[in-house]
């Protein structure tokens, strides 16, 4: 590895996937508002939550983000400059199209939605043009997914477990993959800020 | 293109060949299932059958028909619960049941019933609303083993606490415990509920309409289909529903992407319950 990642300015990216559980909301509150509105990115978020009630996250973040925030329906077409929050009690997958596929399959790591399910499907569709972020959380969900993103050539950023409210999730990811950067949330935020650079290398 | 990307593409090709082979050999059509979900299920099956490659699994399943029921269990989804999304059933009671009462006899189709949770939920709801004795529930699925389990009416007692809470929140007048006896870690549901349920093999991918019905529920089944197959299924539902009939779909499923969408008007937007538009002037 050529040293830790310090800028994303020159990096061709189509999508960002983010996963977390306990302590994840605080981290997201710092990260999602930083994302630039016109970089053409699609952003997908899985946060472990109770399965028996609908998620409050889209409402919580809608007013604070430059990107459009939504909780998608099944087979909704994926658009640029949108943030998709996995609905409660469904796995959220990036499918060919690209479009969203939801599933009510078995829990993965006791979770539905599962971070692994999102990350692995996104790695499959976006390959090297994907950035994955593993945040604070209480189990190993996300580790296999981060590995899949890395293996497909994508960028992996892990919250420094020493700065996470619950270190198990980021530590599990570090045990599974050598990420491009390990940073506290403020550092991840600064890194995401480099996406604001004037030159847009997304030359599809 | 990187090596990993090329490998992923090869796997996609293998999946297409595999699903073609399953279709031609066993007449189960998974070719229009949503790719990423079926891919996960196929990977799980490979692991279960100890196969390194999908072609290995394909060869074994083609040569040994006895393996197929086990594979089918992997390719189909069994995760369900009774009274899943209680507000859906509450909306059925409040907005649909009053109109169902006006029919002298009722036919109801629970499409993709898996191990029967949704069918029994429907039977219980109809019983509580005084409609079960004049109802016939068609509960259909593609997996014969799931249908056998459904017919047995036996559920793991560990899931009963969740079912009971769901049932309570659906506006039920009595406790779910009225409907089953628990023994040896299982809950056996009252045979009387089954008297008006016909469990049968039916594929939304390959079969056609078999009856005219007043109500269809098909929840969290369409999510496993690609848009083309969703269109086919929704077309079947449209043809099966009587004028002004109702359909309930999963809380994150939508008819708005469908060309049949205009045939339905929402009864409860939040709970995804729709009514067929009146036909004629």
Say if domain A15-196 classifies as CATH 3.40.50.180.
yes
Do B18 and B111 belong together in one domain?
no
Backbone dihedral region of A36: left (phi > 0), alpha (psi from -120 to 50 degrees) or beta?
beta
Do B198 and B62 belong together in one domain?
no
Do B176 and B56 belong together in one domain?
no
Residue B222 lies in a domain: yes
Do B58 and B138 belong together in one domain?
no
Contact criterion met (CB below 8 Å) for B52 and B63: no
Number of domains in chain B: 2
The nearest CA of chain B is from the CA of A112 a distance in Å of 12
Rg of chain B (C-alpha set) = 20
The nearest CA of chain A is from the CA of B102 a distance in Å of 33
What's the CA gap between B264 and B281, in Å, rounded? 16
Cα separation values, A103 from B55, B139, B179, Å: 26, 21, 30
What's the CA gap between B256 and B98, in Å, rounded? 26
Do B218 and B160 belong together in one domain?
yes
What ipTM did this prediction achieve? Answer: 0.91
Cα separation values, B188 from A140, B11, B78, B194, Å: 36, 43, 18, 11
Q: What is the mean pLDDT of residues B6-30?
A: 89
Q: Where are the domains of chain A?
A: 15-196
Examine the fold and report which residue of B43, B75, B107 is the final residue of a domain before the chain moves on: B75
Measured between CB atoms, which of A73, A95, A151 is closest to B35? A95
**What's the confidence (pLDDT) of residue B4?**
46
Residue B281 lies in a domain: no
A2 pLDDT more than 90: no
Put simply, the answer to whether A117 touches B250 (Cβ < 8 Å) is no
The catalytic residues of A are 21, 48, 141
Do B58 and B190 belong together in one domain?
no
The nearest CA of chain A is from the CA of B34 a distance in Å of 7
Do B98 and B148 belong together in one domain?
yes
Residue B41 lies in a domain: yes
pTM, rounded to two decimals? 0.93
B5 close contact with A: CB closer than 8 A: yes
- What does the pLDDT look like over B155-194, one tens digit per residue? 999 999 999 999 999 999 999 999 999 988 999 999 999 9
Q: What is the mean pLDDT of residues A73-87?
A: 96
Examine the fold and report which residue of B20, B53, B75 is the final residue of a domain before the chain moves on: B75
Residue B249 lies in a domain: yes
What's the CA gap between B48 and B42, in Å, rounded? 10
Do B119 and B197 belong together in one domain?
yes
Q: Taking the alpha carbons of A23, A29, A30, A36 in that order, is the dihedral positive or negative? A: positive
Domain that holds residue B24: 3-75
- CA of A119: which chain B residue's CA is closest? B36
Choice among A51-65, A161-175, B209-223, B243-257 with the minimum mean pLDDT:
A51-65
- CA of A52: which chain B residue's CA is closest? B85
Contact criterion met (CB below 8 Å) for A64 and A28: no
Residue B156 lies in a domain: yes
| B interface test, pick of A88, A91, A103 with most B CB neighbours within 10 Å | A103
The band of B80, judged by pLDDT with boundaries at 50, 70 and 90, is: confident
Residue B259 lies in a domain: yes
Neighbour-count burial of A99, counting CB atoms closer than 10 A to its CB (0-12 exposed, 13-18 middle, 19+ buried)? buried
Do B112 and B167 belong together in one domain?
yes
Put simply, the answer to whether A105 touches B223 (Cβ < 8 Å) is no
Cβ-Cβ contacts under 8 Å, B230 against chain A: 75
Chain A residues at the B interface, defined by Cβ less than 8 Å, are: 72-76, 87, 90, 93-96, 99, 101-106, 117, 120-121, 124-125, 127-128, 151-153
Examine the fold and report which residue of B48, B75, B102 is the final residue of a domain before the chain moves on: B75
The nearest CA of chain A is from the CA of B202 a distance in Å of 21
Put simply, the answer to whether B252 touches A96 (Cβ < 8 Å) is no
CATH number for the domain that contains residue B252: 3.40.50.150
């Amino acid at each position: 590895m050529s040293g830790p990642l310090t800028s994303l300015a020159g990096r061709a990216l189509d999508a960002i996937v983010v996963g977390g559980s306990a302590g994840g909301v605080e981290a997201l509150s710092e990260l999602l508002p930083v994302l630039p509105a016109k970089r053409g990115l699609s952003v997908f978020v899985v946060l472990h939550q109770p399965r028996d009630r609908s998620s409050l996250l889209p409402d919580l973040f809608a007013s604070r983000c430059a990107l459009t925030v939504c909780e998608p329906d099944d087979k909704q077409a994926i658009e640029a400059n949108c943030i998709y929050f996995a609905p409660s009690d469904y796995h959220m997958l990036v499918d060919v199209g690209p479009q969203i596929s939801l599933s009510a399959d078995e829990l993965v790591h006791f979770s539905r939605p599962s971070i692994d399910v999102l990350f692995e499907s996104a790695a499959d569709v976006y390959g090297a043009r994907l950035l994955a972020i593993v945040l604070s959380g209480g189990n190993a969900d996300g580790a296999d997914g981060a590995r899949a993103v890395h293996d497909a050539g994508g960028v992996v950023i892990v919250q420094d477990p020493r700065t996470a409210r619950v270190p198990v999730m980021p530590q599990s990811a570090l045990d599974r993959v050598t990420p491009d950067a390990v940073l506290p949330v403020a550092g991840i935020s600064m890194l995401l800020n480099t996406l604001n650079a004037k030159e847009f290398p997304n030359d599809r | 293109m990187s090596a990993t990307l090329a490998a992923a593409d090869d796997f996609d090709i293998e999946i297409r060949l595999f699903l073609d082979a399953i279709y031609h050999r066993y007449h189960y059509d998974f070719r229009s299932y949503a790719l990423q979900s079926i891919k996960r299920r196929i990977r799980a099956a490979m692991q279960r059958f100890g196969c390194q490659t999908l072609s290995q699994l394909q060869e074994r399943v083609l040569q040994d028909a006895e393996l197929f029921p086990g594979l089918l269990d992997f390719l189909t989804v069994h995760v369900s619960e009774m009274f899943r999304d209680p507000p859906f059933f509450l909306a059925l009671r409040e907005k649909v049941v009053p109109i169902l009462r006006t029919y002298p006899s009722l036919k109801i189709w629970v499409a993709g019933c898996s191990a029967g949770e949704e069918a029994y939920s429907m039977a219980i709801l109809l019983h509580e609303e005084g409609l079960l004795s004049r109802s016939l529930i068609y509960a259909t699925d593609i997996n014969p083993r799931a249908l056998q389990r459904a017919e047995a009416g036996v559920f793991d007692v560990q899931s009963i606490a969740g079912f009971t809470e769901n049932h309570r929140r659906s506006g039920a007048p009595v406790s779910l415990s009225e409907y089953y006896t628990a023994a040896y870690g299982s809950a056996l549901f009252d045979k009387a509920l089954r008297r008006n349920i016909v469990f049968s093999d039916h594929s939304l991918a390959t079969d056609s309409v078999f009856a005219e019905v007043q109500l269809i529920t098909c929840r969290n089944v369409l999510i496993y289909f690609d848009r083309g197959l969703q269109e086919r299924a929704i077309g079947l539902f449209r043809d099966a529903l009587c004028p002004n009939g109702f359909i309930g779909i999963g809380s994150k499923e939508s008819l708005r992407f469908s060309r049949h969408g205009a045939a339905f008007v929402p009864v409860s937007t939040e709970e995804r319950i729709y009514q067929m538009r009146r036909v004629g002037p």
